[in-house]
Amino acid sequence: MSLIAFLGAVEIGLIFGLVSLGVFLSFRVLSFPDLTVDGSFPLGAAVAAALIVGGVPPLVATGVAVVAGAAAGLVTAILNVRFGILHLLASILTMIALYSINIRVMGGPNVAILQEATVLTPFLTGGAWAPDWPAYVVRPAFLAVVAALAVVGVAAYLASQLGLAMRATGANPRMARAQGIRTGRQILAGMALSNALVALGGALFAQAGGFADATSGAGTIIVGLAAVILGETLMPGRRVWVMVAAAVVGSVVYRIAVQFALDIDGLGLQASDLNLVTAVLVGAALILPGLGRGRLRLRP
């Protein structure tokens, strides 16, 4: 594998590290299987790209994309908490609604921003803070800083009194309520935070790649989940910091592994096989622990 391909994998891994942080919050912390991310990832990309094309400063555009993602998460949470719709179904409703919304936001199925200034521009050749590095190094370095900040932020939140209340809400809601925690509010906050992170990933994906596409969200949830599961395997531990960092590490390792697999000619894989490989990986990761515990051996 070439250095450029490797760093490209790291770059995508870090972007999707933000997605897996979001998935970690919904699936692991809140026990809320949330498919909204398949819509909020392209939503972040669409909002950022559309605003950048419209002349809005990239930092502001990214901020608005994050807020849009939070709003999408809130919609799913409200459908579930306030109106009692099953969490999975609520998230699918938001997800399919977002498909239409994203196309409206972009005024079409995709937007190119290759020629526009992005949050990365100041660090690229000719920019105000440009280091003397090629773009394929600058991009992952910038994203590593963003991902590290996100890890610190999420971990610090989960270690706080409010974060502990959120973890209790996902782990044992009845007990949480008995301790005075308003579980409905915790779900709203957690889902907003989760989808805000995913939309940030989408906004950076669009800016690093130079385009936004309404179909780029398909399978986001599974990719995020694969990263979370891989991270848990690579970095087992119950400390909040470890669990949060593991989500991003898992995402990066996953992308590098995928890149390796695609590079091996003997396997004959092509880029479009990625979804199949991911599904098989996640399926195996979900089945194997059960086998280990002898759950399946009980059958005669």
Q: Which helix (H) or strand (E) holds 6?
A: helix 3-23
Q: How far is the CB of 187 from other proteins (least distance, A)?
A: 13
Tokens for 282?
Answer: 């996640």
Q: Would you say 175 or 291 has its CB closer to other proteins?
A: 175
Q: Report whether 150 contacts 200 (CB < 8 A).
A: yes
Q: Would you say 104 or 239 has its CB closer to other proteins?
A: 239
Q: How far is the CB of 23 from other proteins (least distance, A)?
A: 18
Q: How far is the CB of 188 from other proteins (least distance, A)?
A: 14
Q: How far is the CB of 184 from other proteins (least distance, A)?
A: 9
Q: Would you say 120 or 162 has its CB closer to other proteins?
A: 162
Q: How far is the CB of 38 from other proteins (least distance, A)?
A: 27
Q: Would you say 14 or 77 has its CB closer to other proteins?
A: 77
Q: Would you say 112 or 164 has its CB closer to other proteins?
A: 164
> What's the CA gap between 24 and 31, in Å, rounded?
9
Please list the alpha-helical segments (H only) found in 54-127.
58-81, 87-106
What is residue 159's DSSP assignment? T
Tokens for 75?
Answer: 């919609």
Q: Would you say 101 or 168 has its CB closer to other proteins?
A: 168
Q: Would you say 111 or 192 has its CB closer to other proteins?
A: 192
Measured in residues, the chain has a length of 300
> What's the CA gap between 85 and 87, in Å, rounded?
6
Q: How far is the CB of 154 from other proteins (least distance, A)?
A: 13
Q: How far is the CB of 235 from other proteins (least distance, A)?
A: 16
Q: Which helix (H) or strand (E) holds 234?
A: helix 220-234
> What's the CA gap between 175 and 194, in Å, rounded?
23
Question: Which residues are near other proteins by CB under 8 A?
Answer: 157, 159-165, 167-168, 171-172, 174-183, 238
Q: Return the C-alpha torsion angle 128, 131, 133, 134, nearest 10.
A: -10
Q: Is 233 exposed, middle or buried (0-12, 13-18, 19+ CB in 10 A)?
A: middle
Q: How far is the CB of 159 from other proteins (least distance, A)?
A: 6
At residue 22, φ and ψ (nearest 5 deg) are -65, -45
Query: Helix (H, G, I), strand (E, B), or coil: what is residue 211?
Result: strand
Q: Would you say 87 or 167 has its CB closer to other proteins?
A: 167
